[in-house]
Amino acid sequence: MKKNIFFLLTMVFATSNHICGQDLKLNDLEYFETQGVNVLVYNNIFSGGFNDEKNAGIEIIHHGVRTSQGGAVRLSNTPEQWDLVPDVTSRKVNRATKSIETILRYKDYDFDSRVVVTAKGKGVEISIYLDKPLPKALEGSAGFNLEFLPSQYWAKAYTMDGRYNRFPRYVVGNTTTRPNNEKTKQYKGYKTYDDRGTDKFIDPLPLETGRTFLLAPDEPSRLIKITSPDADLMLFDGRVLAQNGWFVVRSLLPAGKTGKVLSWMVEPNAINGWTREPNIGFSQVGYIPSQQKVSVIELDKKDKPFAKASLYKVGNDGNATEVFNGKTTPWGNYFKYNYVKFDFTSVKDSGIYYIQYGNIKTNNFLIENNVYDKITDATSDIWIPIHMNHMFVNEGYRVWHGEPFKEGYRQAPPNTDHFDLHSQGPTTDTKYKALELIPGLNVGGFFDAGDFDIETGSNISVVNNFVETWEYFKPMRDQTFVDQKQRYVDLHRPDGTPDVLQFIEHGTLNLVAQAETIGHMAQTLSNSVLDNYHHLGDAASLTDGLPYNPKLGSYEKASDGLSSGVKDDLWAFTSRDPHLDLNAATMFAAASRALKGYNDNLSARALVQSKRLLKESTELLANQPQDSISKYGRSSNAATNLQLYISTNENQYLDKFQELLWPDLDRNVNFGLLTALDALPHMDASYKEKLRPYVVKFKEYMDKLEKDNPYGVPIGLGNWAGGAALLNFGTTVCFASKNFPDIINPSHAFKTSNYLFGCHPYHNYSLVATVGATRPKAVFYGNNRADFSFIPGNVAPGILFRKPDHFENFDDWPFLWGQNEGTIGGNTSYLIFGSAFKSLLK
């Protein structure tokens, strides 16, 4: 008892000691701010595509880290990704009352709520207003939720009305079930429950209930106090239902009431005098002696920059010696922070080094001629073969996955909306009936990303990336055993064939099968039910490997063991898109060249499909508006005609390429320049001179980037970090500097590598798993994300921008795909960049 009383007194003292700092102010960017605390109110709204992406609503950025989000009226205790989210119908900022008012609407229930957030002292009051009473269907289910990031709170203490406990490291808690009926169907329309004999929803029960809730009184940087005079606060662990769930604090809205029906007081602690620790950006991979070496140091705007920084060299005796110190050069403000640069280019001696800025020492890095030699090895040796679909993949004592989807793919029914933003139109656009097995599709192809579907558009770009890598750089690296007959892959086991050539074959096998069997390209080969789509684990266990037999009962297996009553077969979404067919024609033309002499049969089949799809898609596009754009790109087919010209040497394709290329470049030189550069080895001198002004225009774009941000590279500001644009930029620089060295300085390519390997906002970790041996990112959104791990060679999308001024990349929480999900398209783009970059160094 004495120990308990002492603990409570300690918590009370800590709370009173640390809730300090200045009052929250409503700033010009329309969020509440004091030093160390930002409270955002619908600066970011819920997605209309993937619904709850855990980055919207009322959000708290607490001492530099976004620790809380999702503040909104929600319809369940611990909402999952595909649960209904409210539409924001209006948002008003009232500076006189220091408040932000947002109206949220659930159109399915004709239900509106008004959320008013008002600055009060060192916190905010959150009030919920209703003009009409709750709909009967939502009584007992509609409530106000605020979610907290588990990785920032697990193992920390909390108190509820003075009762103390700790946030669990792994999910704990009790659950109950309820029937799946219309009253409780508060989700977008996809099945979100496990129907293996239950047909019920799982509901978590609260860990605690009370009126005063303290989060992390033992950690001042995460301490938050929440009180409610109107309703109980309930604490839930959202990870009970899904590994990407957060801790949820929730109060139910009362039935039969209008006006102000609920209020909370939320007080995030601001540590007095706090400033964010400088983020010293540098390449974790290291530097070659001759390159420019510039560290970009990211500073809190209230942090006075030091005039100098130092470079220390670690000797063979383990002692460090200062070998260089130099001035820090101001760059200026970029969104939330201030930036200075530290140039240590003059240091060229090989060795182990670290940077010291004030009292902060970075981890070590190398200066050596070989630091970039292996930057693509993990991606090509491990990540890519692990993502080979329809194969058993082994690595030493570990099986990454068995052979998936032996039962094949069925025709998606007409008018089917899919949870991964695909849809089947009013017809199948094929000769196959709804749910009929489409033969021959369960071969080749690559998992798209952190899931197990084959996104056709991505796989097309992947084969193109492999072909470009092969034709330009001829990588003879052989570290993977691939046997298509056995459907078996073994890592770190050479088989006498260059790996990239086998990857080209594997991707082409699936895409040719689509073209031949369906007659055009499928949008995707994906899951038919949501339970399968968010599957984490061995891909081979996602389905039972047996074709679905509608004559059997649920989970019944046929007496001959050749079919089952499990509706787990994957579907082919086959609505035709001529833009996608056009992209496939490009890829088939390129693949046919690479495969000639290795798999002549597949090479010939690819060329046949290239010519057919080019002809058919061109005819289909002629009947569409000239500015028609699909999700797969514009209607211009300059790249297709270039690849067909290279494959056939027929002038008709050359003429069409030149007809289309120059208007493409006039529209957007950054988009089309890489295609134009690809043509150079096959064109005459006049073509190169005609291209020169466009390279000059690209140089002007590069110069603008130097003024746009302190890193001098394109930085994406959307809901997906800008990794694709960054890699395209870096690859374009490599090829442009090779062909136009008088215009493009090759040193610009190092800006891309520096950004990838640690010189970027938020933190200085390498964005490539295991590359940058001292401090690469440790967790990624891969298919093993539930293990808080990574697949070697995975390339993260990058540093995600959150409106209006916050960058982030969590390395302790993998489940935010916009910043942590490596894709087959992105990783093979990295393979090209890395190959081009290493070639440039030679």
Alpha-carbon 183 to chain mean position: 34
Catalytic residue among 33, 455, 678, 821: 821
CA 807, CA 761: separation in Å to the nearest integer? 7
Do 297 and 303 contact (CB within 8 A), yes or no? no
Cis before residue 439, ω within 30 degrees of 0?
A: no
Nearest to 129 by CA among 273, 259, 267: 259
CA 768, CA 288: separation in Å to the nearest integer? 19
Nearest to 71 by CA among 226, 257, 290: 226
* Structural tokens at position 154: 């697990």
Phi, psi of 672, rounded to the nearest 5 degrees: -105, -10
Hey, how many other C-beta atoms are within 10 angstroms of the C-beta on 802?
A: 21
For 728-770, what is the HEC assignment?
A: HHHHHHHHHHHHCCCCCCHHHHHHHHHHHCCCCCCCCCECECC
CA 688, CA 493: separation in Å to the nearest integer? 43
DSSP states of 204-266 as a string? EPPSEEESEEEE-TT-GGG-EEEE-SSS-EEEEEGGGT-TT--EEEEEEPPTT--EEEEEEEE
DSSP states of 256-309 as a string? T--EEEEEEEEEE-B-TT--PPPEEE--SS-B-TTS--EEEEEE-TTSPPPSEE
Specify which residues 26 forms β-bridges with: 32
Catalytic residue among 131, 322, 655, 812: 812
Tell the burial category of 125 from Cβ atoms under 10 Å away from its Cβ (0-12, 13-18, 19+): middle
Residue 819 DSSP SS3: helix
CA 752, CA 730: separation in Å to the nearest integer? 5
Pairing status of strand 111-120 against strand 123-130: antiparallel
CA 437, CA 428: separation in Å to the nearest integer? 13
Which residue has 């905010």 as its token pair? 124
* Structural tokens at position 676: 């134009």
For residue 785, the 8-state DSSP code is: G
Rounding to the nearest 10 degrees, give the CA dihedral for residues 657, 660, 665, 668: -130
Do 183 and 108 contact (CB within 8 A), yes or no? no
577 tagged catalytic: no
* Structural tokens at position 741: 């060295």
Specify which residues 129 forms β-bridges with: 114, 260
812 tagged catalytic: yes
Residue 183 DSSP SS3: helix
Phi, psi of 810, rounded to the nearest 5 degrees: -75, 135
CA 676, CA 657: separation in Å to the nearest integer? 10
Q: Among the residues of 82-149, which ranges form H helices?
A: none
Taking the chain, what is the end-to-end CA distance rounded to the nearest angstrom? 72
* Structural tokens at position 712: 């001098």
Nearest to 753 by CA among 670, 669, 836: 836
Phi, psi of 471, rounded to the nearest 5 degrees: -75, -35
Do 752 and 734 contact (CB within 8 A), yes or no? no
CA 335, CA 266: separation in Å to the nearest integer? 26
DSSP states of 594-630 as a string? HHTTTSHHHHHHHHHHHHHHHHHHHHHHHTS-TT-EE
Cα–Cα distances (Å) from 388 to 135, 380, 459, 505, in that order, read: 49, 12, 11, 11
Mind telling me the catalytic residues? 812, 821
